[in-house]
Amino acid sequence: MFQRLKPISVQEAMSGATLGLVQYVVVRTDLMTSLAWSVGAVIAQACHASTAVAHLYHEDQNMQRYLADLDNMHKVVLGIESETKLRNLSEKLNEAFIDHKLWIEQPEDTPTCLVTKPYPKEEVSRLFKKLKLLKMDNPSSSRESTGN
């Protein structure tokens, strides 16, 4: 049986926020800690993966709705501790048929992050519930605490 959908306005139909669409970005935190990558380099990885997802899934209905309302896009940026955990998450998403891009930086051949295509939050949030929002030290506060 098909469920009857509540009628919405054209403006609401174009709004990813109205549909509760969210795009998850998961970044390896060890890149900035033990591997000493700069914050900018890690952010670039997330940008590469996000752009790749927009290209790979540009014909997807959720992606089109998400991109149709640029001022209301919703992303959740999470941290994950290691390459192994990132690869395991990618496998878990594959098993759940969640479209995403595992970004592998070249020529280093290093998995750095993954990004999902936009999905209704209620369809995918359970897969990310063990992860925490990405946090990093505030460079200005660390300078103040060291007296530099």
* 103-124 pLDDT, tens digit each: 999 999 999 999 999 999 999 9
pLDDT at residue 79 tops 50: yes
pLDDT of residue 138: 53
CB contact at 8 A, 17 and 74: yes
Instruction: Please give the helix or strand (H or E) that residue 65 lies within, else none.
Output: helix 61-68
The answer to whether residue 4 scores a pLDDT higher than 90 is no
| Per-residue pLDDT band at 136 (split at 50, 70, 90) | confident
pLDDT in tens, 49-64: 999 999 999 999 999 9
Tokens 């996000």 sit at which residue? 50
Residue 18 clears pLDDT 70, i.e. is over it = no
Strands (E), 44-136: 75-80, 100-105, 110-116, 119-120, 132-133
Asked if residue 102 has pLDDT above 50, the reply is yes
Quickly tell me which residue has 């591997």 as its tokens.
Answer: 35
For residues 39-51, average pLDDT = 97
Query: Lowest mean pLDDT: which of 24-33, 35-44, 110-119, 129-138?
Result: 129-138
Residue 110 to residues 106, 115, 136, 148, Cα–Cα distance (Å): 7, 15, 21, 34
d(CA 33, CA 37): 7
Cα angle: 33, vertex 34, 39; to 5 degrees: 35
CA gap 42, 46 in Å, rounded = 7
Question: Does the pLDDT of residue 28 top 90, yes or no?
Answer: yes
How many H helices and E strands in the chain? 6, 6
Q: Please report the pLDDT score of residue 62 as a whole number.
A: 96
